[in-house]
Amino acid sequence: MRVSVLCSATLFSWATFAFPANLLNGDISEATLAEITSLTQKITRDLEAQRQGSHVKRSFNAEAQRIDTTGEHRYIKPGPNDLRGPCPGLNVMANHGYLPRNGMSTILQTATASNEVFGMGIDLSTFLSVYAAVMAGDLTTFSIGGKPKSSGLLGLTSSLGLTGAPQGLSASHNRFEHDASPTRDDLYSTGDTDSLNMDYFKQLLSMPLGPNGIDDSVFAAYRVERVRHSIATNGHYFAGPLTFFALNPATYQFTYRFYANHTAENPVGYLDAQTLMAFQGVTEENGEYKWNPGQETFPENWYRRVIGDDYGIVPFTAEAVSIELANPELIRLGGNTGEPNTFTGVDVDDLTGNVLNAQTLLEGNNLMCLAFSAALEASPDILGGLVGNVLLAVEKLTGALEPVLALLNCPQITKFDTTLFKAFPGAGSGL
């Protein structure tokens, strides 16, 4: 199955899902449908522009790349009823009004803001926004933090979300949140995956700098250390295809790719400690660091990625695969069996019905293809009854992503045996 088919089969293949149609009644407004249509058209235009301009050398443009932090985008500390969660990038956009300041965001708001503010490819930002709305929200709306205090755009109550009660990103273990995070604890170690672990943060700052500061080379080495630490300390440590090959590398790669400050002298981007601290809500006085929960902010005079050099699904996949190939211990599926240092592996050939094995997993984009296949298993049986504008909106979103995902050229994975994960108490949803 090529990823173009996989796209329509995972979050991606909505037609296989089942959700009581009478609760939705195709009730997305014409205005929302128009916004989704506009978003999908932008994806198509961006993909075409990338194809047409792939040979064009892009350069730093201060006026276009500087992110406004004044006026309506001035920093405002979140109030007691504002939701903030484990993703600093979403928190900072909410604190500066690029996302709703209450922390309740829609697919459209998140996808477009992530693209415009950070230079995340519109394909990747839409993919992640749709996935978040399905896994932590009510299809159109999700909380960037904990359980929402009100219903979303579809008018579903807090007890009638698509996956049960919408819980927000803070309660998305093994769906978005995962073990061996750069700066957060494992769920089964402390029960708190939102709070920054200052020891981990200091460890990151103490790593030898790369040519672009705290860059991709630093995060690759640091990721290996964090994985080793989780295996050694967390009896429930789990590395599934989705969490380990896609979500975990994303948290490391995104930190440099989206938080680095760009200049004419260094258009690729340089990430220093002060910039990283601002994005993580950390302050320092007399050598003492303090984390200020939910108070992430843009640094002064901060410039996003070069316009036209968006970091989308294809470059993210290429970088993730190259890092994992260079560090073989990052290609181990499985987990601890209840005690630290009891890591037991899962054979890829058994998991995929011999479609992939230890050798073919390392070919092409198969690592990421396996992660996307796992996302199919993650998607609950919730959307099969969609009608009217809801169905049309979802078809537009998934259809627009097919061309870019097709570039990954995935094999057909017809079997995905999640029963192999039952030996691992930390597997949860088994992804």
Q: Identify the bridge partners of residue 303 per DSSP, sorted by sequence position.
A: 66
Instruction: Give the pLDDT confidence score for residue 17 in this predicted structure.
Output: 29
- Separation of CA 196 from chain center: 18
- Per-residue pLDDT averaged across 235-256, rounded? 92
Which amino acid, 320?
A: A
Please give the C-alpha separations between residue 238 and each of 46, 109, 113, in angstroms, as whole numbers.
36, 32, 32
Closest to 280 in 3D by CA, of 192, 184, 206: 184
Q: Residue 331 corresponds to which tokens in the numbers above?
A: 């290609």
Q: Which residue has the higher pLDDT, 130 or 383?
A: 130
Query: What is the tens place of the pLDDT at every residue in 307-318?
Result: 989 999 889 999
| Tokens read off for 316 | 């993210």
Residue 231 vs residue 394, higher pLDDT: 231
Distance CA 177, CA 155 (A): 26
**CATH number of 3-423: 3.90.660.20, 2.60.40.3710, 1.10.489.10, 1.10.260.40?**
1.10.489.10
Q: Which amino acid is at 267?
A: P
Answer whether 182's CB lies under 8 Å from 204's CB: yes
The CB-based long-range contact list for 195-198 (8 Å cut-off, 24+ gap) reads 195/291, 195/293, 196/280, 196/281, 196/282, 196/291, 196/293, 198/289, 198/291
The predicted-structure confidence for 310-360, as pLDDT tens digits, reads as follows: 999 889 999 998 998 899 899 899 999 999 999 999 999 999 999 998 889
Q: Please say whether the beta carbons of 276 and 234 come within 8 A.
A: no
Say how far apart CA 332 and CA 238 lie, in whole Å: 10
Average the pLDDT over 216-221 and give the result. 97
**CB-neighbour burial class of residue 75 (10 A; exposed 0-12, middle 13-18, buried 19+):** middle
- pLDDT value for 166: 61
pLDDT at res. 160: 35
Q: Give the pLDDT of residue 55.
A: 55
Task: Give the model's pLDDT for residue 405.
Answer: 67
> CA-CA distance, 35 to 41, in Å (whole number)?
10
Distance of alpha carbon 431 from alpha carbon 179, whole angstroms: 12
Give the per-residue pLDDT at 155.
Answer: 43
| Contact between residue 128 and residue 137 where contact means Cβ atoms under 8 Å apart | no
Amino acid at 280: Q
Residue 426 token pair = 């930390």
Most confident segment among 144-153, 297-306, 389-398: 297-306
Mean pLDDT of 116-127: 90
Give me the half-sphere count of Cα atoms (radius 13 Å) on the Cβ side of residue 152.
33
For 174-187, what is each residue's pLDDT tens digit?
566 689 999 999 98
Cα Rg, the chain, nearest whole Å: 21
- The arithmetic mean of pLDDT across residues 253-282, rounded, is 97
> pLDDT per residue over 10-42, tens digit each?
333 332 222 333 333 444 567 666 766 777 777
Query: What phi, psi does 142 have (nearest 5°)?
Result: -150, 160
Q: Judge whether residue 119 has pLDDT over 70.
A: yes
Percent of the chain residues past pLDDT 70, beyond the cut: 73
pTM: 0.84
259 neighbors 275 (Cβ within 8 angstroms): yes
Cα separation, 253 vs 374, whole angstroms: 20
